[in-house]
Structure formats: C-alpha cells, structure tokens
Amino acid sequence: MADILTPALGESVTEATIGKWTKKAGDAVKKDEVLVELETDKVSLEVVSPADGVLSEIKAPDGETVVPGAVLGVVTEGASAAPAAEAPRTEAKAAPAPEAAPAPEAAPAAVSGGSVAIMTPTMGESVAEGTMGTWLKKSGDTVARDEMLVEIETDKVAVEVAAPAAGVLTIDAETGSTVTPGQQIGSIAASGDVAAAAPAAAQAPATPAAAPTGSDAPHLSPAVQRVVTENRLDPKAIAATGPKGNITKADAMNAIGAAAAPSPAARPAAPAAPRADQPREERVKMTRLRQTIARRLKESQNTAAQLTTFNEVDMTNVMALRSQYKDAFEKRHGVKLGFMSFFTRAVVAALKEIPSVNAEIDGADIIYKNHYDIGVAVGTEKGLVVPVLRDADTLSLAGIEKGIAALGKAARDGDLTLDQLQGGTFTITNGGTYGSLMSTPILNAPQSGILGMHNIVQRPMAIDGQVVIRPMMYLALSYDHRLVDGKEAVTFLVRVKDLLEDPARALLDL
C-alpha cells in the first residue's frame, strides 16, 4: 500500500483545501495520474498517484483543510478495480425513462462511446473559485467540438469554456453556482451516445429561445450571447465587425443603442403604463467583479491615510499641439493622438522626481519601484477595471497611445488577462470622459498615488493682467499620507501641471 501525501505547499503556506477528487474509492489508478487538486491562498497544486493499483481509501474528502505531509488517501498496489459490470449500471441510471424502449441499441452505443468530462479550467494565480454564467446549451443538446458552452466569472476575468469533444451535453454545475479549478461542471457523451441521449432531450420541456438558433444563426461567444439574451436581440440583425465576420461585444452593445432609439413610425404609438409589469424593487446578486471592486475600495479606505490635493492645468498648448499634428500622427503611426499619452509622459517624469509616489508600504518596509507600470482605469459594463501599461517610461507617445487603445479594447471585450491587471505602480483615471468636473479618486491599493483627470472647460483666467478664456482642467492627486508628505504630493502635481502646460519640456527632458 502507498500513502498519498500532501506535498510541500511553498514558503509561508501552511495549509490547503481539498478541491475535487478525480477518482473515487475503488477506482483503478495509474502511477503519476492526477487524483486531486489542492488549493492554497497562492497557487493550486495537483497531487498524483504514487503507484499503479486501486484507490482503496480517500481520507481527506472534498473541501477539507490539510497540512503538508497529511495523508490524503491510500493506493493499494497491484489490486484490481471493481467489476466492470458496474459501468453499465451507472449508464442505466443516466439513460432516459422507460419509454425509450430500444435500450439494447442505446446501451452498446454508450459503452462504446464513453463520455468526456468538462472541467473548470485554471483561472489564474490567486483565483480560487468562479461563478457559472449562463449555459449556451442545455442538457441533452448536441454540441460540436470547441463550441463555446459557458463563461465562468471570477473576481478578475471571465473564462470561456469550450466543448472538449462532439456529442451530447449533460450539465452538472448550474448557472450561478460556485466552482473551483479542476471541478467537473458537465460531461459530453461521445458521438456514439447521441442516439441514446436524444429521447431525454425530446422529453425536456420546451423553453422560449431568446435569440434565433437556426443553423444559419451566427456563432456567438458567451460574453456576446449574454448581451444578446438579456436584451432580446436578433443576432442576424447585428452588424459584425470582428475578425472572420464574428459579432463582438461592442457590436452587440451598439445594437442595444440602435434598438432603444425609436423610429419615427414608432413614436406615435401609445406608451405603456409605467411599471405596469415591473416590481417596484428588484434584488440582483452582485457579480464577482463588483464584489471585488467593493471589497478592495473599502480595504483601501480602511488601510491607507488617504488625502487629495488639487490643481488646475491650462490645456491650451497641449490642445494646439494635438490639433496641429493629429492627422500626420495618425497617418504615420496608425493610432489617434489623444491626451492620455501627454499625461502619461508627464506622470512618469514626475514619478522619477518624487519616487515616494511610485512606492508602496509592505509591513514596516517601503518598496521603491524603479519601473513605471501605469494603470489606466477603464469603465466597462461589468464595472471598473485597471489594466496596466508596462514600462511606460520606455514608450514613445505613439507607443503609449497604441498600448492604451489595446488595453481599453481588451477591457471592453472582456479579453483582459490576469497579467494585464496586476503589478501597476501608479494609476491614472479619467472621469472627464463622462463629464466629471472634479472628484477625489480612491487609491488602487497597494499603490500610493492615483491621478484624476477631469473635463476640459472653457473658463475666464487672468493672464498677464488680462482676462482671457482658456481650456482648463482640474487635476486631483489622491495619495497615501503614511508614505507621501504633503510637500511631495503638491510638488508632484505642480510638476505634472508644468509639463502639460509646456509640453516641449517633456520632449526636451527639462
């Protein structure tokens, strides 16, 4: 007999939680076959069989907490698995009701085809669980290999799960349930089982489809399918702009706006009575992303000594420079010249002069960052995300604009990776795109500074003894007063202001 032991879990990790066993007691196992996954607060570890034989005992069931060296189970070497006759009995349980009389034909197909498990994929470092989204198919439906089936939402990104094989789908984890990496969320009966599963599908109660499902209906990703379903859109009526002619989430969102705008012919129609078919209140469960945003912002407020200092910047010279060269810039670099590149360059220069704003507190230590990874806050339909522009100090204005445009598109399409959301040293948020005149942004912990941009407004200003109209923007710097003194914060913001009002200084490194 060979014990299955909990491996070393890494520095400072003292315990782990049992995920889901891939085998049950009595099953035959092979040496180095993955038997169970352990989850810690940092990583997930796979535990393999120490020998060929039979998993004779599971000592630590799913969900139990274990420590390094603990015995998880026992493998009896050289033993035989339970009689094979047990397999048909399991299939008989899953077979359709007695009305599906031709059982002799269905059983051989099920045995010969077998089934393929649909497992929750690894969702990234430090992501221990996710929430099942809406299945695009229902149990008993026929699916094709690599067809998108469901989207799993985590507190950072959404992960799409595709069919690992062609066949008939059986759903184990319903919409809204919590799942962990490596957990089985469904299975697909191989192509030989399609005939056996068809009667069960026929007996399922019919449900009205939210969108056309004919063979000529366009293929939709789970993110797009959710928008289409929730807003009752017709996929055939949506103009597709994605690669290979597929519909992107932006296409679906644009279609919502078009559908919401009433046509002239529709306007004379009598409006429905307000709230005639709606409750006065509606309770909706928060998404994981929204829960994480709420938790992290509150933690930031509770941890840091946050303070905000303000200034205003005259955008005349930046706007003139942008207006003069925007066409040539776009023709040369293939991207529009915006304000974010000027702000990013100014921020990086100011961070180099005031390094405490680019630092963070770790216990009793201060970590000074000698790299400049700038987080750019992006508002999406699911909530605020902050993808990171790496090594902004090494990028040209064109490189910054291209990087920010790519991050913004990935955020809106739900395609951001975990790596793109981690490791920022400073954040810029632009509330001016929504018309904000002034705000006090909350720190993106563990960072020590965040710059808030606002709306550009024509205001009368006193210049050299004369009142002139200038395009002005309020700037707000929120900072951690535990690390950044008021003098440093004000100096930082004044430096940003000077570089924006005279952009040639940034180009000349003055």
**Most trustworthy range by pLDDT among 190-194, 197-201, 238-242, 391-395:** 391-395
Q: What's the token pair of residue 466?
A: 């004369």
Burial of 286 (C-beta count, 10 Å sphere; 0-12/13-18/19+): exposed
pLDDT in tens, 169-181: 899 888 888 888 8
For the cut 90, the answer to whether the pLDDT of residue 353 exceeds it is yes
Which of 70-84, 225-239, 390-404, 456-470 is predicted least confidently? 70-84
Q: Which of 89, 91, 78, 86 is nearest to 29 (CA)?
A: 78
**Reported confidence tier of residue 413, pLDDT bands at 50, 70, 90:** confident
CA 356 to chain centre: 30
Q: Pick the more confident residue, 352 or 175.
A: 352
Domain ranges of the chain: 2-77, 86-201, 222-257, 289-507
**Reported confidence tier of residue 267, pLDDT bands at 50, 70, 90:** low
Question: For residue 42, what pLDDT is reported?
Answer: 55
Determine the Cα–Cα distance for residues 500 and 494; give it in Å rounded to an integer: 10
* Verdict on whether the full-model pTM lies above 0.75: no
Question: For residue 273, what pLDDT is reported?
Answer: 53
Question: For residue 202, what pLDDT is reported?
Answer: 42
For the cut 80, the answer to whether the pLDDT of residue 263 exceeds it is no
Tell me the mean pLDDT in the region 66-94.
63
Which of 93-107, 143-157, 236-250, 366-380 is predicted least confidently? 93-107
pLDDT in tens, 425-439: 999 999 888 888 999
Fold held by 86-201: OB fold (Dihydrolipoamide Acetyltransferase, E2P) (2.40.50)
Place of tokens 């180009």: 507
Whether residue 390 contacts residue 422, with contact meaning beta carbons closer than 8 Å, is answered with no
For the cut 70, the answer to whether the pLDDT of residue 92 exceeds it is no
The per-residue DSSP string of 28-90 comes to EE-TT-EEEEEE-SS-EEEEE-SSSEEEEEESS-TT-EE-TT-EEEEEEETPPPSPTTHHHHH
Question: For residue 216, what pLDDT is reported?
Answer: 58
pLDDT in tens, 142-186: 888 888 888 887 766 677 888 888 888 899 888 888 888 888 898
Q: What's the token pair of residue 378?
A: 């992006």
| Percent of the chain residues past pLDDT 70, beyond the cut | 77
For the cut 60, the answer to whether the pLDDT of residue 390 exceeds it is yes
**Domain pair 86-201 / 222-257, same fold:** no
Fold held by 222-257: Dihydrolipoamide Transferase (4.10.320)
Count CB-CB contacts under 10 A for residue 64: 13
Tell me the mean pLDDT in the region 342-352.
94
Integer angstrom CA distances of residue 119 from 20, 135, 167, 169, 263: 11, 14, 16, 13, 46
pLDDT in tens, 198-232: 444 444 444 444 444 444 566 676 667 777 777 77
**Most trustworthy range by pLDDT among 94-108, 225-239, 253-267, 407-421:** 407-421
Whether residue 74 contacts residue 23, with contact meaning beta carbons closer than 8 Å, is answered with no
- With respect to CATH, is domain 289-507 assigned 3.20.20.100? no
Question: For residue 262, what pLDDT is reported?
Answer: 53
For the CA atoms of the chain, what is the radius of gyration? 29
**Reported confidence tier of residue 89, pLDDT bands at 50, 70, 90:** very low
Q: What's the token pair of residue 434?
A: 């929504």
Between helix 340-353 and helix 397-413 the angle, nearest 10°, is 110
Whether residue 5 contacts residue 36, with contact meaning beta carbons closer than 8 Å, is answered with no
For the cut 70, the answer to whether the pLDDT of residue 498 exceeds it is yes
For the cut 50, the answer to whether the pLDDT of residue 316 exceeds it is yes
Determine the Cα–Cα distance for residues 253 and 258; give it in Å rounded to an integer: 9
Question: For residue 212, what pLDDT is reported?
Answer: 45
My answer on whether omega of the bond before 446 falls inside 30° of 0, hence cis, is: yes
502 contacts: CB under 8 Å, gap ≥ 6: 317
Place of tokens 């296409």: 251
Per the prediction, the chain carries an average pLDDT of 79
Which of 29-33, 45-49, 77-81, 301-305 is predicted least confidently? 77-81
**Domain 2-77 -> CATH class:** mainly beta
Determine the Cα–Cα distance for residues 90 and 501; give it in Å rounded to an integer: 75
Enzyme catalytic residues: 481, 485
